[in-house]
């Protein structure tokens, strides 16, 4: 399996799991404070990384940023219609913060050889 296909598979799994966990009833009390927002930020930071490495030829363009933002908004809109979830604009902003943080971190990450090798591996086998 080539590296890009691996990242695309991981991205698909992460998107499905994110949607599942954000639309199912919560069986335990989730902190509504900073921890909740931090989990949103980390989730979208990770989704940004997977998206970027799934489509390296696109670079991390406005279209990718817009798509991840739309995905975060879609989740919040779905939650609005669920009796056991609520729409939260602050959650959406935390999602966007995760995407923004990735865009700011990418130049630093790209200095690390592992990140350069993974990004530049177009069709090599893993």
pLDDT of residue 96: 96
pLDDT in tens, the chain (126 residues): 588 899 999 999 999 999 999 998 876 555 555 588 999 999 999 999 999 889 887 777 788 889 999 999 999 999 999 999 999 999 999 999 999 999 998 878 777 787 777 777 554 443
101, 65 Cβ separation under 8 angstroms: no
Give pLDDT, residue 41: 95
**At which residue do the structure tokens 């980390």 appear?**
42
Domain ranges of the chain: 3-19+32-120
Predicted pLDDT at 123: 42
Q: Which helix (H) or strand (E) holds 121?
A: none
Per DSSP, the residues of 36-88 read HHHHHHHHHHHHHHHHHHHSGGG-S-HHHHHHHHHHHHHHHHHHHTSTT----
Q: Residue 126: its pLDDT value, please? A: 38
Given 3-state DSSP classes, what are the helix, strand and coil percentages for the chain, each rounded to the nearest 5?
75, 0, 25
Gap between the Cα atoms of 10 and 83, Å rounded: 30
């Amino acid at each position: 399996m080539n590296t890009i296909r691996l990242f695309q598979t991981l991205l698909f799994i992460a998107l499905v799991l994110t949607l599942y966990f954000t639309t199912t009833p919560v069986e335990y009390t989730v902190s509504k404070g900073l921890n909740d927002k931090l989990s949103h930020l980390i989730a979208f930071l990770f989704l940004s990384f997977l998206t970027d490495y799934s489509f390296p030829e696109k670079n991390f363009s406005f279209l990718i940023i817009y798509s991840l933002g739309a995905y975060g908004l879609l989740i919040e809109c779905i939650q609005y219609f669920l009796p056991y979830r609520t729409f939260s604009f602050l959650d959406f902003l935390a999602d966007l913060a995760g995407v923004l943080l990735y865009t700011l971190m990418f130049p630093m990450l790209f200095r690390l050889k592992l990140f350069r090798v993974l990004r530049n591996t177009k069709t090599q086998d893993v």
